[in-house]
Amino acid sequence: MGEFELIERFFKRPARNAVVGVGDDCAIWAPQPGQQLALSSDMLVEGRHFLSTVNPRHLGHKALAVNLSDLAACGAVPRAFLLSLSLPRVDEDWLSDFSQGLFALAVAHDCELIGGDTTQGPLNISITVMGEVPVGQAILRSGAQVGDDIYVSGHLGDARLALEAFRGHLSLPQNIFELARSRLESPTPRNTLGVSLRGLAHAMADVSDGLLGDLGHILKASGAGAVLSLPALSGLMMSRPLWTCPQEWLLRCVLSGGDDYELVFTAPASSRQALESAASDCGTQITHIGHISAEPSVRLVDEKGTVQPATYPSFDHFA
């Protein structure tokens, strides 16, 4: 099977919103009046972001999910994406499963594949996603204000548990492993929540490299610090009610686990009720984990208000 047949068979679908979709030199797209575009790219590399044994359907899902998560973090509605794929060989079963996982999520978010590239080489999946947000309403990292509450959506840390189990650093009960693995391999981007936080959240980022690292981006961009509640953080792991996570892993995974694809955001205390209501409408849990401080550091406080040391690194692909 050649390059063009491969595209035709697995990746070309009739253009929906695009003026021209897959199959010309460029896709042609007409933005809606009054909207700004939000654009982001994420690249997944075998051995670095996923294991060669991963289910290709999950991989197709995840490759798009991590990109949609960036749109969620700005409050943008997904519209379209381009997929560049380097493959060692044409494996039809693999391509069929990968494209099914990819399109299932794309259809669920009404996000259209409009172009891309395929070539031969080490397995590499590079997606660029495009969304829309009304002019001036994108939620940036730089808007946090001293006194803002800090929230995270959903759960943190379980994906890292699965990674550590795959690495042989940790032995997990079977049911915990399955749950954690599903969080690692099939993350849920929080786009509905992200959009509903427009006008409420002052600053937002997605949690992809670990909470401390990604909150750190907000703090740096906003010139502020944070005080975080250890009891609130300890409750964030999805698997927490089901077993006793070793203490050494609990906070490490929650604070610097990575691969969570949740949202961390700040909002004024006056918005608490509106936030709870918005989150409830989306069916997504949010947890109040602390507040923004003027002092430019992150302090973890226990239930007595005592500051605890925090030495958890962010995930860095070149560290």
Tokens of 177: 């492993």
Q: Distance (Å, rounded) from C-alpha 104 to C-alpha 57?
A: 9
Q: Applying CB under 8 A, which of residues 16, 19, 91, 308 lies at the interface with a copy of itself?
A: 19
* CB closer to a copy of itself, 138 vs 170: 138
Q: Distance (Å, rounded) from C-alpha 132 to C-alpha 75?
A: 9
Give the Å distances, CA to CA, from 22 to 57, 65, 140, 215. 21, 21, 31, 37
Q: Applying CB under 8 A, which of residues 10, 11, 15, 49 lies at the interface with a copy of itself?
A: 49
* CB closer to a copy of itself, 5 vs 303: 5
Q: Applying CB under 8 A, which of residues 74, 170, 195, 219 lies at the interface with a copy of itself?
A: 74
Q: 79 with 131: CB under 8 angstroms?
A: yes
Asked if 54 interacts with a copy of itself (CB under 8 A), we say: no
Query: Hunting for tokens 């992809």 — which residue is that?
Result: 208
Tokens of 287: 């947890």
In the shown chain, the binding pattern of residues 89 to 108 toward a copy of itself, with x for contact by CB under 8 A and - for none, equals -x------------------
* CB closer to a copy of itself, 176 vs 212: 212
Asked if 319 interacts with a copy of itself (CB under 8 A), we say: yes
* CB closer to a copy of itself, 170 vs 210: 210
Local structure of 10: helix, strand or coil: helix
Give the Å distances, CA to CA, from 42 to 118, 124, 158, 207. 16, 11, 22, 14
Q: Distance (Å, rounded) from C-alpha 287 to C-alpha 204?
A: 14
Residue in 207, 233, 94 with CA at minimum distance from that of residue 102: 94
Stretch that binds a copy of itself, among 96-104, 119-127, 169-177, 287-295 (CB under 8 A): 119-127
Q: Applying CB under 8 A, which of residues 14, 52, 53, 135 lies at the interface with a copy of itself?
A: 135
Q: Applying CB under 8 A, which of residues 197, 200, 205, 253 lies at the interface with a copy of itself?
A: 205
Q: Applying CB under 8 A, which of residues 138, 170, 226, 300 lies at the interface with a copy of itself?
A: 138
Q: Distance (Å, rounded) from C-alpha 86 to C-alpha 136?
A: 37
Backbone angles phi, psi at 94, to 5 degrees: -60, -50
The residues binding a copy of itself (CB under 8 A) are 1-4, 6, 19-20, 23-31, 33, 36-43, 45-49, 70-71, 73-74, 76, 80, 82-86, 90, 114-122, 124, 126, 128, 130-131, 133, 135, 138, 140-142, 204-206, 221, 316-319
